[in-house]
Structures are given as C-alpha cells and as structure tokens.
Amino acid sequence: MFSLASITIACILGGVSGTSLARQETCSPNFEGAGVTIVTGDMEFQWAVSPVVAGTPLKKNGAPFPQNSTARWHVKQTGLADPTYIVSTISDNKLVVDVVDKELTLEQIDSSKQTQIWEIQCKQCLSGASSTRGGGVFASGCSIKSVPSGLCATLDMGSEFLELTDCNPRGAQTFNFWTATTAERSLEPQNLDKRCDMDFFEDCIGTCNNPTCPACNVGCTIGCCGSTGCC
C-alpha cells in the first residue's frame, strides 16, 4: 500500500523529470567565432544593416542564393552559466545589436547596457561551427529574445525593420543561422536533390536521414535537401 508521503514524493520527482525533458527540447548554439548570416525561417529574408555605423536600424534584406554568400554577424557568448549572447557586425566588432524604442539598432558596445544582451534558443544546433563542412545551416528554429524585456526579435512580412514584440511561436520570430563557407557549398543548384522544390524545398522535408551527417538532417528540417553537397 502506498502512503501519502510516497505518493507526494513520486509526484515531485515526476515534476522534476518533466521539467528536465522540457528543457531538452531547445538548445543554445556555440558559434565558436564563426561568421554567420541570420535568415528567417521561411528563407525569404535575412538580417541586414546599411550603413554599418552606430544608430542604424536593422532591416530585412532579400535572402540571396545561397542564403549567406556573405556572412554579416558574429554571435558571441557572454560567459554566463545560462548562455546569453552579444551580436556584433563582422566588419566592426565594437558595433553590436541594441534596442532603441523597441527597434533593433546598431550601437557602440557598452558592457553596462543589458539591452545589448540576447538569449538564443533553437530547436536544433550543430557543433563545430568554425570547422563544419557542408550543411550551411548551423542552428535552426531559433528565437532571439532581449534579456531585460523578455520580448522577441520579430521581422513581420509587412515591416521593413526588425523590432521587439511579445514572444509567440510564429514564423516572424523564427530564425536560422548559416555559416558562410558551408552555405555556398551546400546550396549550389547542381547539388540539390531532384526531389526538392526549388522555391522552398518543401518536397524534401523529412527525407534525409543520414546518421553520419547531422548537418544534412538539420538542413532537411528547414527544407533543404542536398544530395551530394549536403555533407
């Protein structure tokens, strides 16, 4: 016969186990100093800024093919136990993504400003960003949240600029990170699987299952299925 105490302990342990499983559903990427491009989940747009000077707001730019023939950003961990990040431009690491009136804007790096700190949680992450060959997509299904406000970076179809809004699971708040050298290899047209739809590659989702090539599998989850250029 179970006592009330044993049932209570079992419930507590069950709650702990459930929490642990929930935490395992997302990952915090380690960019290892690699230059990246930040592309929307539907692969339509990428984060852009011009000119690269303090005070310039971030805006959307049509994603080229391949999606990041030019890497634009460095994403560095702050060193805290719970990973948080600073996002700087590749051309000048002293210019970082900040928040001004809920708009994402380039500003001079300032260690006292919490608005320059970001939390990044992804559905899938690869290791070895600085040396990964093939693939192109390093982290996918990512939300990018401002630490002090708890609001998420958002790029709505009808908006030109990136802004902060309440977090919710929608495409305008979902981003993928591409490493520069791998994107050029993995998305060359001659390397695309013939089953792929050339617009969004939706026909390939779920068709890759190569246990030796995590880059290929991550690519498939967002719709890229390279037959020879994936790995």
Could you tell me if residue 216 is inside a domain? no
Distances in Å between the Cα of 208 and the Cα atoms of 54, 66, 136, 177, 197 are 43, 20, 15, 20, 15
Report pLDDT for 27. Answer: 94
CATH of the domain at 146: 2.80.10.50
Could you tell me if residue 180 is inside a domain? yes
Asked whether the whole model's pTM tops 0.75, one would answer: no
Could you tell me if residue 198 is inside a domain? no
Could you tell me if residue 33 is inside a domain? yes
Could you tell me if residue 11 is inside a domain? no
> Helix and strand tally (H, E) in the chain?
3, 13
Report pLDDT for 82. Answer: 86
172 is written with which tokens? 């305008």
Could you tell me if residue 3 is inside a domain? no
Could you tell me if residue 36 is inside a domain? yes
Report pLDDT for 148. Answer: 96
Could you tell me if residue 153 is inside a domain? yes
The C-alpha atoms of residue 87 and residue 92 are separated, in whole angstroms, by 11
Q: Provide the domain limits for residue 119.
A: 26-187
Report pLDDT for 110. Answer: 96
**Are the C-beta atoms of 106 and 53 separated by less than 8 Å?**
yes
- Rg of the chain in Å (alpha carbons): 19
Query: Mean pLDDT per segment of 10 residues, for the chain of length 231 residues?
Result: 43 38 71 86 86 94 58 87 92 95 96 96 81 68 96 90 91 87 35 32 39 42 38 33
Q: How far does Cα 157 stand from its chain's mean position?
A: 18
The C-alpha atoms of residue 183 and residue 66 are separated, in whole angstroms, by 6
Report pLDDT for 32. Answer: 83
Residue with structure tokens 């339509």? 44
| The total number of structural domains that make up the chain | 1
